[in-house]
Structure 1
């Protein structure tokens, strides 16, 4: 299986899956308990926002879609090995899983657009949309 599958550090699996989903498909977040979202800033201050729009940054789908040629090549090679009794179907399954896992991890590192919002850059100290602590990357 490939996906956001394991908790990392103090980040729960549910939290990492939520982060993955929000980035994969984008989201608009509105306040539930008042007129503003309250965003804690790195310097200890707070910003009040009416809503936040997080753009789609597909890394799961793009990880597969943009790597489909390599995946197909691997399957063709491994099928040939299976036909020659050099590999089992389970080993093909594992090879494909490892390749997809690596493609998704690569996509997390390579995806630089859409850029982070200025407030996010201020908080993170960098404009690296899918990388903050590295927990999402490690959870794949």
Structure 2
């Protein structure tokens, strides 16, 4: 009976320790650039020019350069008032388009975090409950609960980013990237997904 009482007290202590920590999973808080990218992808955004009339969207012809990096660009109107181009002379075709000009660009939502939460919450909950039980009976330590659960959540979110396909990239974006993978360009966003624990 005394042994049972001692085990119960230890189980309660372990449970209280688990409840004193919060697990957070996602993009690192201190990386403002990646947080901005994650928010835009998650909720979508309409981008408009701030200090100029047009947004300049690079074509593969421009490489990694900006309009200011070219000396001989000229302006061409498109078929409608909200379309235009920056081009430069070309000996073969007469000109080649370097930048597509638009009044705005709409980035559609690609909610990889909400998708992961909605599709994996049940499994995460079951895993968390199983780990908490193992912790309470002394099979694992409290810190192991969060490391195993955090890694599982990170893996699932990264897989969601890899598999996400709809809505796809705009044709120009896919052409510039060389592939059509809406949530992956360099892979920096996916690779940044991590977990941390905080005392509460």
| More moved, 105-114 vs 88-97 | 88-97
1:139 aligns with 2:177: no
- Give the total of aligned pairs: 135
Consecutive unaligned residues of structure 2, counting only runs of 5 or more, are 1-23, 63-97, 194-200
Question: Could you report, residue by residue, the CA deviation over 1:58-117 in whole angstroms, capped at 9, with x for unpaired residues?
Answer: 112222221112101211211220222112222212222111111110110011001111
Q: Which residue of 48, 53, 62 maps to 1:35?
A: 53
Separation in 2, partners of 1:77, 1:3: 23
Question: 4+ runs of 1 displaced by more than 4 Å?
Answer: none
Structure 1: gaps spanning 5 or more residues: 8-12
Higher strand share: 2
SS of match in other structure, 1:95: helix
Pick aligned residue for 1:129 from 143, 161, 182: 182
Contact in 2 for aligned 1:64/1:103 (Cα 8 Å): no
1:2 has 2:25 as partner? yes
Question: RMSD value over aligned CA atoms?
Answer: 1.6
Q: 2: CA distance between counterparts of 1:136 and 1:6? A: 13
Q: Which among 173, 178, 184 is matched to residue 120 of structure 1?
A: 173
Shift of 1:41: 2.0
In structure 1, how many angstroms separate the alpha carbons of the residues matched to 2:46 and 2:190? 23
Change (3 A) 1:6 1:42: farther
Secondary structure, aligned partner of 2:101: strand
C-alpha distance in 2 between matches for 1:33 and 1:62: 35
TM-score, structure 1 normalization? 0.88
Measured in 1, the distance between the counterparts of 2:120 and 2:51 equals 43
The partner residue of 1:22 within 25, 32, 40 is: 40
Work out whether residues 6 and 139 of structure 1, in 8 Å CA contact, stay in contact via their aligned partners in 2. no
Say if 2:29 and 2:35, in contact at 8 Å, map to a contact too. no
Alignment counterpart, residue 74 of structure 1, candidates 103, 119, 127: 127
